Amino acid sequence: MALATFWFILTAVLWTGFFVLEGFDLGVGLLHTVVARDEPGRRAAINTIGPLWDGNEVWLIVAVAAMFAAFPGWYATSFSAYYLVTVLVLIGLIVRGVSFEFRGKLASSRWRHLWDTTLTAGSLLVPFFLGVFLGGMLHGIPIGQDQEFSGTFADLFSGYAVFTGLTLVLLCLLHGATFLALRTTGALRGRARLLARRIAPVTALAVLAFLPWTHSTAGKGVLPSIMQLIAVLLVLAAAWLVTTGHEGWAFAATTVTIATTVLSVFVDLYPRLLVSSTNPAYDITVGNAASGNYALKVMSVVAIVLVPVVLAYQGWTYHVFRRRVSAEQFADETAGAPE
């Protein structure tokens, strides 16, 4: 296998890993004020992802760094084309990241309300605009012969790209609700289950529409691939499993759904990286955007050695924090602020 293809697969896996892992903590960010109306409940909801979200986010950082290192042309064209979209994603990541840390630092309900709002808003901006970005890769944007973007901001918002964003937001919501049901107790768990049950049918419909649209956008007809069939079946299974109280299995099902949905975009994209809507000859591809063989080889060695190590210690983290979190734990605490 050519090294460039290996790096395409690795980049796709990193993006997928990001949505699988950060997907549920984005969902929890979106739902934490819905699932719990009082402070102890919200603290509990946030604490289910407290130890995990930062490590999850690194998957995106590494995915983008992999694009830069392995396909400089892809990285350069995409982020200059998606300039303002990227600014929106960054705003989301920034306000979200500091919300976790700042929220509990002052004992004032206005203060907490502010960071609850930024946490929710950030958790919406990130999956939606990253979805627009991913969908646009496949749908195509105006790219000229010089591999530079030649369109306007509006060109980035094709119907398919916007729908990719919506689908990802819905997937994050379902994934997050299922995760909350899996990781909390008592009333919180009940509400999370109820939320998951309500979100599941909408998400299933979105996935059901998204996959054939993806296929036809890629010019491959509308019949779904096996991977896409799995995505659809499991999103339906997740809805049923969470209702019957099999939260662990439901979470496994949403995990596979989100993974197969994101991966199917990359599968349909290959060997292209960024489609040019101007002329197929100007597509940015694995062939014309890859770094030299030496750079790819060095990074492959690093990745092959380190990825298993990272998976091992991240896996261990999930094991350490496997216990359910209950609202009662936070009932008699103030926000832990000074004085």
Partner 1 sequence: MSQLDLARLQFAMTSIYHFLFVPVTIGLGFLTALLQTAWHRTGLADHLRLTRFFGTLLLINVAVGVVTGLVQEFQFGMDWSAYSRTVGDVFGAPLAMEGLAAFFLESTFLGLWVFGWDRLPKRVHLATIWAVALGGALSAAFIMAANSWMQHPVGYTVNATTGRPQLNDVWKLFTSPVFLRGYLHVLLASVVTGAVVMLAVSAWQLRKGRSPLVFHASARLSLLVLVPTLLVAMLVGSELGVTEGKYQPMKIAGAEAQWTTCQPCSFSLFQVGGGNDDRTPTKIIEIPHLLSLLATNHWNGKVLGLDQVQSQYQAQFGQGNYVPNIFIQYWAMRVMAYLAVVVLLVGLWGLWLLLRKRLSSARAFQWAATWLVILPFLMNTAGWLLTESGRQPWIVQGIQLTRNGVSPSITTTTVAISILVFLLLYAALAVVEIVLMARYARRDPEPAPTPEAPLPSLTY
Footprint (CB under 8 A) of partner 1, residues 129-188: 146-150
User: Is the peptide bond prior to 142 cis by the omega test (within 30 degrees of 0)?
Assistant: no
CA distance 286 to 59: 21
**In angstroms, what is the minimal distance from the CB of 217 to partner 1?**
23
Are 95 and 118 within 8 A, CB to CB? Answer: yes
Nearer to partner 1, 75 or 266 (CB): 75
Instruction: List the helix and strand counts (H, then E) for the chain.
Output: 12, 2
Nearer to partner 1, 213 or 282 (CB): 282
3-state secondary structure (DSSP) of residue 339 = coil
Closest CA to 28 of 240, 178, 241, 163: 178
Are 179 and 185 within 8 A, CB to CB? Answer: no
Nearer to partner 1, 143 or 230 (CB): 143
331 binds partner 1 (CB under 8 A): no
**In angstroms, what is the minimal distance from the CB of 153 to partner 1?**
8
194 binds partner 1 (CB under 8 A): no
For CA atoms 86, 113, 197, 181, give the dihedral sign: positive
Nearer to partner 1, 73 or 212 (CB): 73
Q: What one-character-per-residue DSSP string does 96-128 give?
A: HHHHHHHHTTS--HHHHHHHHHHHHHHHHHHHH
Are 173 and 30 within 8 A, CB to CB? Answer: yes
**In angstroms, what is the minimal distance from the CB of 211 to partner 1?**
29
Nearer to partner 1, 57 or 283 (CB): 57
For CA atoms 32, 37, 42, 48, give the dihedral sign: negative
Q: Which of 6, 157, 249, 321 binds partner 1 (CB under 8 A)?
A: 321
Per DSSP (E only), the strands in the chain are 272-274, 284-285
Burial class (CB in 10 A: 0-12, 13-18, 19+), 320: exposed
46 binds partner 1 (CB under 8 A): yes
9 binds partner 1 (CB under 8 A): no
Nearer to partner 1, 52 or 169 (CB): 52
47 binds partner 1 (CB under 8 A): yes
121 binds partner 1 (CB under 8 A): no
**In angstroms, what is the minimal distance from the CB of 165 to partner 1?**
18
> Per-residue x/- marks for partner 1, 48-87, CB under 8 A?
--xxxxxx-xx--xx-xxx-xxxxxx-xxxxxxx-xx-xx
3-state secondary structure (DSSP) of residue 272 = strand
Chain residues 259-318 in contact with partner 1, contact rule CB under 8 A: 291-292, 294-295, 298-299, 302-303, 306-307, 310, 313-314, 317
Chain residues 94-113 in contact with partner 1, contact rule CB under 8 A: 94-95, 97-98, 100-106
Closest CA to 10 of 305, 304, 289, 312: 304
Nearer to partner 1, 87 or 222 (CB): 87
320 binds partner 1 (CB under 8 A): yes
Segment interacting with partner 1 (CB under 8 A) among 46-54, 188-196, 232-240, 259-267: 46-54
Nearer to partner 1, 298 or 331 (CB): 298
Number of residues forming the site for partner 1 (CB under 8 A): 73
Nearer to partner 1, 208 or 307 (CB): 307
3-state secondary structure (DSSP) of residue 254 = helix
Are 211 and 231 within 8 A, CB to CB? Answer: yes
CA distance 180 to 190: 10
